Amino acid sequence: MGLLDRLSGLLGLRKKEVHVLCLGLDNSGKTTIINKLKPSNAQSQDIVPTIGFSVEKFKSSSLNFTVFDMSGQGRYRNLWEHYYKDGQAIIFVIDSSDKLRMVVAKEELDTLLNHPDIKHRRIPILFFANKMDLRDAVTSVKVSQLLCLENIKDKPWHICASDAIKGEGLQEGVDWLQEKTVQSDPSCEDMKR
Ligand SMILES: Nc1nc2c(ncn2[C@@H]2O[C@H](COP(=O)(O)OP(=O)(O)OP(=O)(O)O)[C@@H](O)[C@H]2O)c(=O)[nH]1
Ligand SMILES: [Mg+2]
């Protein structure tokens, strides 16, 4: 660790670390979104389906996010729950053009919301209604209705329409996530003042 890092740590200037889980069905665009949130010189040009999960990092103005980018493939979805305890926020990505699998996305969301490590926590959930550029995409309002998001009463949540290829809608989501994570995390107490 460099001298500047040590000094900023001692002075309390270092950004808070936040653990985020990125969930959603395979092919919804999770890795593409996380990749786009990294600085341009750290972005990968070639996105491939995630095997298991990968750990990625990006920053907002006041937080350092460590993201567990989980594979959405059926055979890996049982891995998700092992990371719930450590997650301080969730990004849930939906392919807005995949109407056939919207019901599967809802089932996975319901399973997540009813999990003992999530159920009683006010963990913020950011939804990306992704792939808005596709002709078949339904609106974020429709996605919200299909997933019955209005039934989530005990957690802060927000839905953003996004096009991860162009990066549209992502910053709005991260700004919301930053605000809510600071509000709901006791370890960020000093940042609320
Ligand atoms: N048109 C369009 N394509 C997208 C968008 N976001 C992602 N994609 C494409 O969707 C495909 C899947 O993207 P990934 O980011 O690998 O999806 P994932 O959710 O990480 O998938 P898994 O790792 O298998 O769970 C890729 O071909 C992306 O280029 C988008 O907003 N619009
Ligand atoms: Mg992926």
Interval 78-127: pLDDT, tens? 999 999 999 999 999 999 999 999 999 999 999 999 999 999 999 999 99
For the beta carbon of residue 140, count every other beta carbon within 10 angstroms. 21
Q: What are phi and psi of 143, to 5 degrees?
A: -60, -45
Asked, for residue 54, whether it belongs to a domain, the answer is: yes
**Side chain identity, residue 106:** K
Asked, for residue 3, whether it belongs to a domain, the answer is: no
Q: Which residues line ligand 1 (CB under 6 A)?
A: 24, 26-32, 47, 49-50, 71-73, 93, 130-131, 133-134, 163-165
Q: Compute CA distances 126 → 1, 57, 71, 96, 185, whole Å.
A: 33, 17, 18, 15, 16
Q: What is the pTM of this model?
A: 0.92
Q: Which residue has tokens 């807005």?
A: 96
Asked, for residue 5, whether it belongs to a domain, the answer is: no
Asked, for residue 137, whether it belongs to a domain, the answer is: yes
* Mean pLDDT across 29-56: 97
* Mean pLDDT across 124-149: 98
Would the annotation count 72 as a binding residue?
Answer: yes
* Minimum-distance ligand 1 atom for the alpha carbon of 50: 23
Predicted pLDDT of residue 13: 65
Closest residue to atom 6 of ligand 1, CA basis = 29
Predicted pLDDT of residue 193: 43
Asked, for residue 9, whether it belongs to a domain, the answer is: no
Asked, for residue 38, whether it belongs to a domain, the answer is: yes
Q: Compute CA distances 93 → 9, 11, 12, 32, 175, whole Å.
A: 34, 37, 33, 11, 16
Q: Which residue has tokens 């889980």?
A: 21
Range of the domain at 34: 24-183
Q: Categorize the per-residue pLDDT at 192 as very low, low, confident or very high, splitting at 50, 70 and 90.
A: very low
Instruction: Give the residue from 121, 139, 118 showing the smallest Cα distance to 130.
Output: 139
